Chains A and B, each alone.
Chain A
Amino acid sequence: MTSASSSFAFDDKRPISMSFRHSQSGGPSSPHTPQHHLRSNNSSFASSSSASTSFRGEEDAIIFEFGSRWLRAGFEGESSPMCVVGCGPEESRRVGDYRGWLRNSHGTEPPSVKAEEWTGAYELWKMNVRDMELGLIEDKIERMFRETYNKYLLTDAGTSRLVLVLPSIMPHPLLSSLLSTLFSRWRFPSITLLTTAPMAVIAAGMRSALVVDIGWSETVVTGVYEYREISLKRSTRAMKLLLQDTGRLLTRLSNNSAASQPGDEIAVNFDLCEEVASRFLWCQPTVSPKGSLGPSQQQVAEPQESDVDTANQGLASVSDEIVSLPSPSAPGTAYIDIPYSKLTEPVEGVLFAKGVPDCELDDEEKPLPLLVYNTLLSLPPDVRGTCMSRIIFIGGGSNIPGIRQRILNEVAFLVQQHGWSPVRGKVIEQQRQRLQTLRLSQAPPPADLTPEVSPDSPKSPTETSTSETQDEEEIDPIEQKIRRNNKDKDTVPPVQGVFREVESLGSWAGASLLTSLKTRGLVEIEREKYLQHGLAGASRDLETHGHAPDRRSGLRTGGDRSSWTLAGWG
């Protein structure tokens, strides 16, 4: 009740309430005084802490987006980050160790290492903190920040507000050491935390969407509704495994004769492998029905090259192409020719779990289409209808050509096969048959149990799946009334119920957009308060902020400034 927002019924729909510097005379608004100085949220002008924030000059906030491997940094209001900094072994060398520049040292055969170590050297952190040295991560973060400021941002560190875009689930030790490092090393006045998925939604111009983040260590599918994370599912099938698989593929290619190579060892240069992956890995965008059964039905265990011929005729010629890559054993001097179709195998095997029967998959290693489907399934029907026509792909894996179409196609196929029902199995099928025959006498049901989702029909599958008895063209009187009421404002009915991809500019751009609109985040950590108690000082009492305890969008709707919260991270 502390904020004005709680007194209004509709304010929940407006988590973004903001003032902004420039007077915007959008079409139908009345003339009003330009708002220049109201930078902070008006709800808190009575509290003391916001006074200090408004005295700060017009320094632009600096936005950092943390991933497992890359750090993106730049200023608010810019469309893309100023720089993307990694933290590989080259970056964690001693000062004055210029070995990375000695290119001739690459002639030596890279030793074969375990796949986990092979990729592990390039990660900033793992979400499993158990065997991680936090001090090392602090060192890395400190160096990355310092070099980013000195080389790319070219501004004094610590003078302006800092906005961090973080994954929505962070281990507290990691979060604590991150914040402690930043606060104790530099004099940042405050640090705002924002979550990745809603930022991507903002950068797509949407309010609700399904964000598929094919990241490094895991793929996270988040259902975002009205800027709030509603449900979230994750899978380990992501870029790390993909890169390891590509490494194995290249290792096999480099020593065809030496079959004695142990299965898990990778003996190629990581950088080369990443180059190959970023340049040449691809994925069949459309699969014929037989092929698309892959993740759900059992196939031959080993991926066969002949599977590729199931591709449609458009890309049939592509599969026969031969591309030449630098030879993994002697990069820079020799090239090897491999069929282009071979380069789709890691993607098929890792991200789509081709050839692995469904029953063998653990909960955390669902293939991506199934993950998307499950996330959609866990959403409430209305939200599902909205989200499924706003699917946003972010993360490194989304750059693989063909993968977006492929996921959309397979999810559509899953919907076609099973409908929006989590219940599977033969017995269920029989029961359904029986029910169907029962119902046949009453009314003609839809042809199949699975609601047919065709892209041109405007009906939402949510209606058809939940209320089977209703007609497709059922008219919702309430919705009509709403539509009649605000006829003048938006006459466009929202697109829903259709699978549609919306492109986002990425989480970083979303955070930049949001910050430049002077919206305050829900999690804004003031320096003094953090230094007093650390993370323990965060108030766990979410009710004081006038919210239901669900996953938060990270946007502040107002409220008490004297205490701070970690919101979803708490």
Chain B
Amino acid sequence: MSRPFPYTYISCPCANTPVPDPSKKRRSRESPQKSNPDQPKPLVPIDDEDEAFDPRSPRANFSLYPPEQLLYCEDCHQIKCPRCITEEIVCWYCPNCLFETPSSMVRSEGNRCARNCFNCPSCTAPLSVSTLENVVVGGTSQQGPWVLSCGYCMWSTLDIGIKFDKPTNIRTQLSKLTEATPVRSRQMSRTFGELKSPLSTYSSIDEHFPPPGETNTKPEDSPEQPTIPLNSDARFNALKNFYKTQISATSSSPTDPLGMDFGAGFSSPGALNRIMSLYTSSSRLSSLYGGANKKPKTRPPVMREALTASEGLKIPAPDAEEALIQRIAGPDCGWDGLASLEQRSFQSPDARFVEDLLPLPVLLRTKRSKRCKSCKHILVKPELKPQSTRFRIRLIALSYIPLPTLRPLNPGPHAAAVLPTPAGSTAPTTSTSTTLTNLDALSPLRPIQLLLTLKNHMFDPVRVTLATPSVTPGRVASKVTILCPQFDIGANSDVWDEALQGAAAATPAPGTATATATATTTPSTDPRGSRSGGLGVYEKVAEAGKVWDKGRNWTTVVLEVVPGTLPGGVRPSKTKKYPVHDNEPDTTTTNTNKNNNNNKKKAHNASDSDNDDDEDDNDSDSSADLPALDWTGQADDPGQKLQPDEDVLEIPVFVHMEWDSENQIDNEQAVGRSSGDTVKRELAYWMVLGVGRIVQ
């Protein structure tokens, strides 16, 4: 993805509750909170859940958010994404001049700034007002007509032949200029004064009331008549006026005020007797009308259609399209003379050429307060003033959920030097990984180790259980193992406290912490875990069942990832790395075995993906290179082609956290024991770790 690797995304739990379709019975899916990972089964949630979260599914794009964009509702105790909040606008302001627009004015100004803020129609950069001539006469400088000009692409309103008389109130000047000009022709250079002439306005009295003799020929004649065609705004208004007059003419005709249809009948004075008899007859309108007036003498007049251009009718000239074609093909138009789709998106619908583009007033922006959708509590409330960036209330999720950060584990130089002794074969791996953990180019099937740090911002210690599918979903199946899936994170206590504590008992404090950690995690691990714990003499070797590092309010665990092979063929690089691979799958299998046999079994059972087969072949025999080659030969058909972003290694991780709230005083003792007055809280969500991009 576009974020630099590694990144983390959090999936809002609201994605698991589908939009209720009232016509069907509610398919109540199990929400992720209901999983119960209290039992010492490390990876139970995955088996219990419906299915693992797939970060590659198209729907996932709509539920994944960067952690910093999420909110948290303290009453629902739930993460809130933009989909599960409602928003209320606090104020409207122009992002360019930072002036606030009163709410009554927003609509009438078309949601755009009414001052001098404009965007360039061709490149969207802000336009500046500048003068054309600057003649200094005497002491005062005489400034000429003004134009709007773009500092980026050098566009100016002179290109479309518009000059302004004053440097202020550009918007009103511009709207007058554009409203009065029906169809903009490019050669005409207009100034404000020119357009004030009454000849340039389209509507005249006699257009509204055509003489009766002339009306017969009107519809046929109107295209030929040199009447200036209206632009779409004016046409719309003409149509609106036309419909209004038609409705009033048809609904309340003077000859027969009672015979009309029910539309707006009560306005006329003649409707009084009808109102008087309203309650004598039945309340139904039909009987009312039928009873009150015997029979309509004349038929209700029928609304007619628009007949003249002043009523909004527009019959395009037969040669209009031809002229358009010729202009497009003409030498002075070309590709750059035509407006692009992006440029046209906010212009009038008939703007087709660059000359038709008008400067766009800046769209206003809003400050919004946000409420939880389910309990209506305010989550975010910004300051009212547009200039202020402060918030009165802001419940961001990161102060409640641990902040996940991921980084590759690069063994230090001394560790790499020490490591070769226990197992000589692992030496090339680690040494190469020190040099090669380039996350933008992960080589397939080479295990990497990642450090996942969760930092707690709450004032309560949190117990976290992580779970991940052993093989990432999708075609590029990478194997993932969390070496220590269950751990505690300390409370976000006062820094001074920690400093004091650390001074008092420098060595015991981390010792106890790790002791508790191992005490909690050892039941879940194999006895082999303790044996490998003996390996920890060489410090900083990733071990199963042990946290990597732990601080005041953070804990780091190790993830071991074997990136899968891409379905595009891995011929050249793979054969070279064979000696490495022969050893590495062994280490991973032992690790996974240590962690949970379940997981490994599942991975092998679910060997539906070709990559798994591929890897198994590599394990067993190096001669399995040939089938791999064949397989890559098949990959030429389009179904096997690499989809965009399929090579990105993303790991879905299910996070379940548990804490006792309201015991902020004695947090150190409260670990593991829940006293009676505290409330146990838990929160569960999926998180996606973007590790890197796999290359071939």
Q: Which of B62, B264, B340 lies in contact with A279, CB distance below 8 A? A: B340
CA of A114 to CA of B304, assembled, Å: 50
CB <8 Å contact, B23 and A4: no
Once the chains bind, are B216 and A142 in contact (CB under 8 Å)?
A: no
Are B23 and A177 neighbours in the complex by a CB distance under 8 Å?
A: no
B302 engages A10 (CB within 8 Å): yes
Complex formed: what's the CA distance from A42 to B283 in Å? 12
The A380-429 residues at the B interface (CB cut-off 8 A) are: 399, 401-405
Q: Which residues of the partner chain A approach B264 to less than 8 Å between Cβ atoms?
A: 18-20, 35, 38, 42
| Residue contact A152 to B240, C-beta cutoff 8 Å | no
Distance in angstroms between the alpha carbons of A30 and B251 in the assembled complex: 11
A60 CA to B110 CA, complexed, in Å: 13
Interface membership of A502, Cβ < 8 A? yes
Binds B, one of A76-84, A212-220, A242-250: A76-84
Query: Residue of A at shortest CB range from B645?
Result: A99
Contacts of B331 in A (CB 8 A): 321
Option from B21, B59, B86, B300 in Cβ contact (under 8 Å) with A176: B21
B289-311 interface mask toward A, CB cutoff 8 Å, 1 = contact, 0 = none?
11000001001111111110001
Given the interface pairs A7-B289, A323-B335, the reply to whether A180 lies near B244 with Cβ below 8 Å is no
For window 222-271 of chain B, which residues contact chain A by CB distance below 8 Å? 232-233, 235-237, 239-240, 242-254, 257, 261-269
Contact B321 A285 (CB under 8 A): yes
| CB neighbours of A35 from chain B (8 A) | 264, 266-267
A contact residues around B685 at 8 Å (CB)? none
Q: In this complex, what residue of B is CB-closest to A17?
A: B263
Report A-chain residues with C-beta under 8 Å of the C-beta of B531.
none
Are B239 and A502 in touch, CB under 8 angstroms? no
Tell whether, in the assembled complex, residue B329 and residue A14 are in contact, meaning their CB atoms are under 8 Å apart: no
What residues of A have a CB within 8 angstroms of the CB of B158 in the complex? Answer: none
Question: B62 and A140: CB pair below 8 A?
Answer: yes
Complex contacts, A490 vs chain B, CB 8 Å: 304
**Pick the contact of B268 from A32, A282, A340 — CB < 8 Å?**
A32
What 0/1 readout, one digit per residue, does chain B (1-26) give for beta carbons within 8 Å of chain A?
A: 11100000100000000111111100
Q: Which of A21-74 contact B (CB under 8 A)?
A: 22-30, 32-35, 38, 41-43, 46, 60
| A154 adjacent to B366 (CB under 8 Å) | yes
CA A203 – CA B314 in complex, angstroms?
Answer: 10
Which of the residues B3, B249, B334, B341 comes within 8 Å of A96, measured between beta carbons? B3
Tell me the bound Cα distance from A146 to B65 in angstroms. Answer: 16
| A280 at the binding interface (Cβ < 8 Å) | yes
CA distance A404 to B264 in the complex (A): 40
Bound state CA distance, A489 and B254, in angstroms? 13
Set A17, A278, A315, A326: member contacting B262, Cβ < 8 A:
A17
A-B pairs under 8 A by CB, number: 340
CB pair B20–A4 under 8 Å, yes or no, is no
A11-B300, A177-B19, A282-B328 known; A206+B269 contact, CB < 8 A: no
Q: Inside 8 A of A352's CB, which chain B residues have their CB?
A: none
B343-351, B396-404, B614-622: which lies at the interface: B343-351
Q: Determine how close the nearest CB of chain A comes to the CB of B518; give it in whole angstroms.
A: 37
- Assembly CA distance A502 to B239 (angstroms): 14
| List of A residues within 8 angstroms of B216 by Cβ | 491-493
Annotate B198-215 by CB proximity to A: 1 below 8 A, 0 otherwise: 000000000001001001
From known contacts A26-B244, A315-B326, infer whether A82 and B111 are also in contact, taking CB-CB under 8 Å.
yes
A219 to B269, CA, bound (A): 50
The docked-state distance in angstroms from the alpha carbon of A489 to that of B261 is 18
Chain A residues in 8 Å Cβ range of B266: 35, 38, 42
Q: Are A503 and B314 in contact, CB atoms less than 8 angstroms apart? A: yes
**In angstroms, how far is the closest chain A Cβ from the Cβ of B300?**
6
Q: Kindly provide the distance from the CB of A99 to the nearest chain B CB, expressed in whole angstroms.
A: 4
What is the distance, in angstroms, from B369's C-beta to the closest C-beta of chain A?
10
Q: Shortest CB–CB separation between residue B115 and chain A, in angstroms? A: 17
Q: A30-B257, A489-B301 are in contact. Are A405 and B318 (CB under 8 A)?
A: yes
Contact A150:B366 (CB < 8 A) given known A92-B62, A155-B89: yes
Q: Is there contact, CB below 8 Å, between A33 and B269? A: yes
| Shortest Cβ gap from A36 to chain B (Å) | 9
Using A17-B262, A150-B366 as known contacts, say yes or no to A10 and B326 having CB atoms under 8 A apart: no
Q: Report whether A32 and B269 are in contact in the complex, using a CB–CB cutoff of 8 Å.
A: yes
B283 touching A46, Cβ below 8 Å: yes
Tell me if A22 and B244 are in contact (CB < 8 A). Answer: yes
Known contacts A24-B247, A323-B334, A558-B262: A97-B1 contact under CB 8 Å: yes
Name the residue on A nearest B88 (C-beta): A156
| Given A33-B268, A180-B22, A503-B315: A401 and B236 interface contact (C-beta under 8 Å) | no
Interface residues of chain B, those whose CB is within 8 Å of chain A, are 1-3, 9, 18-24, 58-66, 69, 82-83, 86-89, 92, 106-107, 110-111, 209, 212, 215-216, 218-220, 232-233, 235-237, 239-240, 242-254, 257, 261-269, 283-286, 288-290, 296, 299-307, 311-316, 318, 321-322, 324-326, 328-331, 334-335, 338, 340-341, 345-346, 348-349, 352, 363-366, 368, 638, 641, 644
Given contacts A18-B263, A26-B244, A502-B315, 7 further A-B contacts (CB under 8 A): A25-B248, A41-B263, A280-B338, A321-B330, A401-B321, A402-B322, A517-B244
Q: List 18 A-B contacts (CB under 8 A).
A: A18-B251, A26-B248, A43-B285, A46-B284, A77-B240, A79-B235, A83-B346, A94-B9, A99-B2, A139-B59, A154-B89, A180-B19, A205-B312, A491-B215, A502-B313, A503-B314, A512-B236, A534-B22
Across chains A and B, which 8 residue pairs bring their CB atoms closest together, nearest first? Answer: A534-B23, A205-B306, A79-B236, A534-B22, A26-B245, A99-B2, A139-B62, A24-B248
A interface residues with partner B (beta carbon < 8 Å): 1-11, 13-14, 16-20, 22-30, 32-35, 38, 41-43, 46, 60, 75, 77-80, 82-84, 92-99, 102, 111, 113-114, 133, 135-136, 138-140, 142-143, 146, 149-158, 176-177, 180-181, 184-186, 203-208, 265, 274-275, 278-280, 282, 285, 314-315, 317-318, 321, 323-326, 335, 340, 399, 401-405, 486, 489-495, 500-503, 505-506, 509, 512-513, 516-517, 530-537, 558
